[in-house]
Amino acid sequence: QALLQGHEERRVRSLVDGVEVSLSVLSVDVVSQVVQVVTAVLRNVCNHPTVPKYQSVSLISHRMAVAWQFASVKHLLEEMGFEATDDESHIHFKGSVTALQNCLPVLVTGLEDIVDNVAQQQRIDAAHVRDTQQRYAFRCQHCQKGIKDRVPAGDSWSGNTSWRAMEERELEYRYECATCKRSGLQVSLCEACHSRYLNGHHNVHSPDHVFEPIAPVTRFLTYGAAPAPPPPSVNRRGPFG
């Protein structure tokens, strides 16, 4: 199969980008369904170019009807050589099989990437909503995760500063860069990224900077003293043990 010319590949990617934009607001399940049916239609034409039943697709079937309702999907299929009947009950392939075969790798890869991209963006959006709801005051400069160093407002926790209470609430220390603070910057790391920093992963932050541990807030908007370490025990467990 011949390689796509640069302008042809850009055109194909532009069509795929249009599909991603229109599907990005949908659930991952619906996006996956649309991508699966469209890639199946394209593959069938390329793999069975002389079999008539694969050159015609019913738009009455539920899965194909869902995909066809999106203008960007309709535009992509039409650009690839499909034509709809007057009553839009079927689409027939009228284009060049060779041209479609040349486009297929880029098309399939781009369409399948849409599912991953939408899923990833929805995870990021959900995490942001959770961070907002929990009122995280600080975010790790490296991983951008909200640092759970305090009890959310309205929580009825008594303010117990024991190690076990901190562990049950999954609170964590915040590590503030003292070097950046002297320059007027506020830089914090979560426990996981600070551990990576101590283990030599200097992509986390400048290697010559000094971090100070900040104990979790044990009462809302009040920093408590760090709890006393637990007594030595071979059975001690937890992130603070």
User: So what's the pLDDT on residue 44?
Assistant: 95
pLDDT tens-place string over residues 215-238: 887 654 444 455 555 555 555 455
DSSP string, 96-127: -HHHHHHHHHHHHHHHHHHHHHHHHHHHHHHH
Instruction: Report the relative pairing of strands 211-214 and 82-84 from DSSP bridges.
Output: unpaired
Predicted TM-score (pTM) of this structure = 0.54
193: left (phi over 0), alpha (psi -120 to 50) or beta: alpha
- Which residues in the chain land under pLDDT 50? 1-4, 154-159, 161, 163, 220-224, 236, 241
**Per-residue pLDDT at 220:** 44
In the chain, which residue ranges form alpha helices assigned H by DSSP?
Answer: 6-23, 28-47, 62-68, 71-79, 97-134, 163-168, 178-182, 191-198
CA distance 69 to 63: 10
CA distance 45 to 38: 11
Write down the pLDDT at residue 232: 55
User: According to the model, what pLDDT value does residue 158 have?
Assistant: 47
